[in-house]
Amino acid sequence: MKPYGSLRTHGAGTLRRDHDGDEVVLGGWVDRRRDHGGVAFIDLRDASGVVQVVADAGEGEADEVLAAAHDVRAEWVVRVRGTVRSRPEGMANPALDTGEVEVAADHLEVLSQAETPPFPIEDRVEADEILRLSYRYLDLRRPGVGDALRTRAQITSIMRRVMERNGFLDIETPMLTRSTPEGARDFLVPSRLQRGEFYALPQSPQLFKQLLMVAGMERYYQIVRCFRDEDLRADRQPEFTQLDVEASFVDEDDLFALFEELMVELWRDVLDVELNVPFARLTFDEAMARYGTDAPDTRFGLRLTDLGEVFRGSDVGIFRSALDGGGSVIGWRLPGGGSLTRKQFDDWVEFAKRRGAKGLAWGVVEPGETTRRPTLRSPLAKFMADDEVTALVAATEADVGDAIFFGAGPTIQTQELMGALRVAAAREHDLIPAGKWAFCWVTGWPLVEWNTDASRWDAMHHPFTAPTDESLEGLEDDPGAARARAYDLALNGTELGGGSIRIHRREVQERVFAILGIGQEEAREKFGFLLDGLSYGAPPHGGIAFGLDRIAMLMAGKGSLRDVIAFPKTQSGSDPLTHAPAEVDDGQLRELGLRLLPREK
């Protein structure tokens, strides 16, 4: 196919000085029109960019062209024939890639007229998002908005190239299927032919990709839509896309190397950035202890420090009782934080309380007056022994002029609070270096976590994740201590993806189901097909899934997943363009054997 189609010869945005004198035919949208009576300028926009078209008064056809140029309006679709000419010295427009040339039109044809758009088709104008999504086809005409989709397409193309180069096959898995547990609610689809029965839209292709390994396909990938019915946060969409991968006879290192190769190629080709590999690796425990999160932002320091040794036996009641109760005291230093005002410290205390903490301690390291030991300016200072202050300053490696934040409570909560504070303070005080891409594998995850509300163990990743060999012995005695062969890839504090080496032996899978409170009957009813598959010679296998929308968002420098999805849903899960979800008529419900309950107030 001709790159610009048979109706055109060139892309508007591709014209340069070396096209001088060429006869071209362009087609696109009227970006802007400037009319000076005897001469009219049209900025003509197509997917490749914008070029200036000039209609001059002259003889014969020229006047017709000028008359037509007078009539056109913004967003009309036109076709122009003309000659490329270099703009005179000093008349170039540096804001346009095509700014050194213009096209002198000798023919102009209107292909479509347009209503006045509800918002200007310009990147600079911030229109209301609901309005933009209602007219998404106009929104996407804005270069910056449309470019995000072009970047996304480049990303998927590179993903396919790398996966295929490594021998992976693109295999589709069903959309109408049974529930696959990934920890969210299913979207259900009622069956007309089997009344009263429902398909579930896949939360992921997890079980199918494992069965493809049983089937001997060995290397599978898919760029696949997944569906999770969750209460939506700003960075979630009910349907989203994953690069989904599974491979046989591999271990963690094989997969890490493959995805490092992929990331290097993506960053090189899309952003012209050379990444350093191998990526850093942290265990889950290290990530929590140093950064207070399982998706650490390692672009900057401000690491957390365990202060158990400092405050063991302390007179400060909250510290001692936290430690005596098996919890932790954790702190970190904010370099130069001594210059914060009292109000700023109070705001951080409020920040901690909003996140459910009882309080937050802080102190500023100051030079000691009579001794060479530093002192602490802090609301808690009078309760702290001199040795405690010295040990605190030493443990956090704080200098005079730094602030120290510290807090106590149950370990995970305190880690998470300090981790959130660390990131928020780094943002607030501009301590995050720009243009840095910090990737980090997080490994050694717990296999299960205790669900207090339901009084049961939940899989930390999903129920098909293999325990480490060491954890397999005595698994039932202390499930909470078991470690999984699971891993996540974090980038700048965001989880890009995660996966695991899977259980490939039926009896192990049954043991893990039992720990998760999935009885034999339930296991057979829900996952019988997987268990059967594992009984027919399953190779060791493992895989991963990456959130494509998130990767595209980060690489395109956008702030929301909606920016990299052509037709996204709003935060309430609706689509302002098509007005989905929508009511259906009684006939459709009857066919499906469904009747609606009255809406709850």
Which residues of the chain form contacts with ligand ASP (CB under 6 A)?
182, 204, 206, 498-500, 543-545
219 within 8 A of 169, measured Cβ to Cβ: yes
State in angstroms the smallest separation of the CB of 560 from ligand ASP: 21
d(C-alpha 157, C-alpha 14), whole Å? 22
Which is closer to ligand ASP, CB of 182 or CB of 458? 182
d(C-alpha 197, C-alpha 192), whole Å? 8
Helices (H), 119-251: 129-134, 136-139, 143-165, 206-214
Which is closer to ligand ASP, CB of 262 or CB of 545? 545
State in angstroms the smallest separation of the CB of 20 from ligand ASP: 54
- Picking from 252, 276, 256, the residue whose alpha carbon sits closest to that of residue 264 is 276
Which is closer to ligand ASP, CB of 172 or CB of 583? 172
State in angstroms the smallest separation of the CB of 442 from ligand ASP: 14
State in angstroms the smallest separation of the CB of 226 from ligand ASP: 6
SS3 at position 82: strand
Residue 432 identity (one-letter amino acid): I
Which is closer to ligand ASP, CB of 206 or CB of 492? 206
State in angstroms the smallest separation of the CB of 199 from ligand ASP: 18
Which residue is associated with the tokens 């600079």?
124
State in angstroms the smallest separation of the CB of 184 from ligand ASP: 10
How far apart, in Å, are the Cα atoms of 328 and each of 79, 414, 574? Answer: 70, 7, 43
Residue number with the shortest CB distance to ligand ASP?
Answer: 204
Which is closer to ligand ASP, CB of 338 or CB of 497? 497
State in angstroms the smallest separation of the CB of 252 from ligand ASP: 13
Which is closer to ligand ASP, CB of 103 or CB of 484? 484
- Picking from 133, 65, 136, 154, the residue whose alpha carbon sits closest to that of residue 103 is 65
Please report which helix (H) or strand (E) contains residue 407, including its range: strand 403-409
Which is closer to ligand ASP, CB of 407 or CB of 543? 543
How would you list the strands of the sheet with 375-377, edge to edge? 305-306, 328-334, 403-409, 361-366, 375-377
- Picking from 157, 179, 263, 200, the residue whose alpha carbon sits closest to that of residue 491 is 263
State in angstroms the smallest separation of the CB of 177 from ligand ASP: 14
Other C-beta atoms within 10 Å of 436: how many? Answer: 12
d(C-alpha 385, C-alpha 233), whole Å? 45
Residue 564 identity (one-letter amino acid): V
Which is closer to ligand ASP, CB of 363 or CB of 499? 499
